[in-house]
Chain A
């Protein structure tokens, strides 16, 4: 039974739950938008990284370089899309 629950994955799960709990602080505690957004950004990205490395085995084989390059590429385009949109649709008018 024990060999079915590898330590690495159990710890990854516990860590994910912990990060979710920390993120919940923005709901239960009274804080400024800046503090709240900082907490959310940090916990969300760490949690995504945990999934990628612990559960999705991103760095396991010889394709490691290609896989990470591709994920970073997707991520960079995603961030440019989101922040570029915010810049020209929201922030530019304030």
Chain B
């Protein structure tokens, strides 16, 4: 295995930089996946039937808290990667842990929001609008949930093995995934919530 020391550890071998490029290609596919969900959402947003409209069920405060939590977690994982590049394992683990806690906070709010929607009669089967709303939000939420477990295992590996080309590569790829979730949330925040409440 040829290690190029001029590059950060996560890119240091041919295999590593190929894995990162491969993950970007996966993220390209994810962009398209969420595009289909947004397309369906924009098509069905007014098909509320006898159920509530977006303006009636959206609340700004929890949505804003979710946004701040996810934005901050995206920032802290960025700091985690920076700490990894300067070789500070303790700081990297701290930032990754903070990231996951913020992610958990986000998820708690989202679960609470879903329970609230069902409680006020906006469940998955109420109308075309609520169905696509919960599907879109749920797909993002499922990604966050998956990310929480993934991140936890990354933390455990780095804790056990330290920074190697493998663990650094895995951590970096996880950070790409997490930032991507934040990007998707920005679009949900803007075009589902804010547009719905405008």
A residues engaging B (CB < 8 A)?
3-6, 9, 12-13, 16-17, 20, 23-24, 26-27, 31, 33, 36-37, 40-41, 43-44, 47-48, 51-52, 54-58, 60-63, 66-67, 70-71, 73-75, 77-79, 81-82, 84-86, 89-90
Contact = CB atoms under 8 A, between A and B. Distances in A.
Contacts of B38: 78, 82
Contact of B24 (A31, A67, A77, A90): A67
A11 to B, nearest CB: 11
B152 interface: no
A64 to B, nearest CB: 10
A56 to B, nearest CB: 5
B42 A86 contact: yes
Contacts of A6: 79, 82
A81 B36 contact: yes
B183 A77 contact: no
B190 A40 contact: yes
Given A41-B190, A82-B35, 15 more contacts: A16-B71, A16-B75, A17-B68, A23-B190, A27-B194, A40-B194, A44-B190, A55-B75, A63-B20, A70-B24, A74-B29, A78-B34, A82-B38, A85-B40, A90-B42
B157 interface: no
Interface of B: 7, 11, 17, 20-21, 24-25, 27-32, 34-36, 38-40, 42-43, 60, 64, 67-68, 71-72, 74-75, 77-79, 81-83, 86, 88, 91, 175-176, 179-180, 182-183, 186-187, 189-191, 194-195, 197-198
B10 to A, nearest CB: 10
Given A27-B60, A90-B43, A74 B28 contact: yes
27 contacts: A4-B91, A9-B75, A9-B82, A12-B78, A13-B78, A16-B71, A23-B190, A24-B194, A26-B198, A31-B198, A36-B198, A40-B190, A40-B194, A44-B187, A54-B78, A55-B179, A56-B180, A61-B20, A67-B21, A70-B24, A74-B29, A75-B31, A78-B34, A78-B35, A79-B35, A84-B39, A90-B42
A70 B47 CA distance: 35
Given A13-B75, A56-B176, A48 B43 contact: no
Contacts of B42: 82, 85-86, 90
